[in-house]
């Protein structure tokens, strides 16, 4: 997809909307900017995918290992909070 833009006196450029949409860019996104020969390469910096396929199975990777958690206690706590909200 080719688009044209013009650099302003402050050195800023506007990434055309079709490119922003295609790359799912939003205000505040971080971008890597580097020179490659006589080209300028701008690439979004994204967190590594947390959902990936391993041996044919989708696996969620949360990063650092979580502390040991009593899942039953969390479920019970969540139920109690929900019951309190519903009871008023």
C-alpha to C-alpha distance for 67 and 65, rounded to whole angstroms: 7
| Structure tokens that stand for 69 in this block | 């958690």
Can you read off the two tokens belonging to residue 73?
Answer: 């206690």
Q: What is the pLDDT of residue 66?
A: 58
pLDDT for 85 beyond 70: yes
Give the count of domains, the chain.
1
Q: Whole-model pTM?
A: 0.50
- 24-38: per-residue pLDDT in tens? 899 999 999 999 899
Residue 27 included in any domain: no
Asked whether residue 58 is assigned to any structural domain, the reply reads yes
The gap between the terminal CA atoms of the chain, to the nearest Å, is 55
Strands (E), 8-80: 31-36, 39-44, 51-54, 57-60
d(Cα 25, Cα 44) in Å, to the nearest integer? 8
Residue 5 maps to a domain: no
Q: Which domain holds residue 73?
A: 51-87
């Amino acid at each position: 997809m080719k688009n044209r833009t013009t650099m302003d006196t402050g050195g800023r450029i506007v990434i055309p909307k079709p490119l922003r949409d295609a790359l799912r860019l939003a205000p505040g996104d971080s971008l890597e900017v580097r020179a490659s020969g006589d080209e300028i390469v701008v690439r979004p910096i994204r967190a590594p995918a947390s959902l990936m396929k391993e041996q044919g199975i989708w696996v969620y990777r949360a990063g650092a290992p979580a502390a040991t958690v009593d899942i039953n206690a969390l479920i019970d706590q969540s139920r109690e909070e929900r019951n309190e909200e519903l009871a008023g």
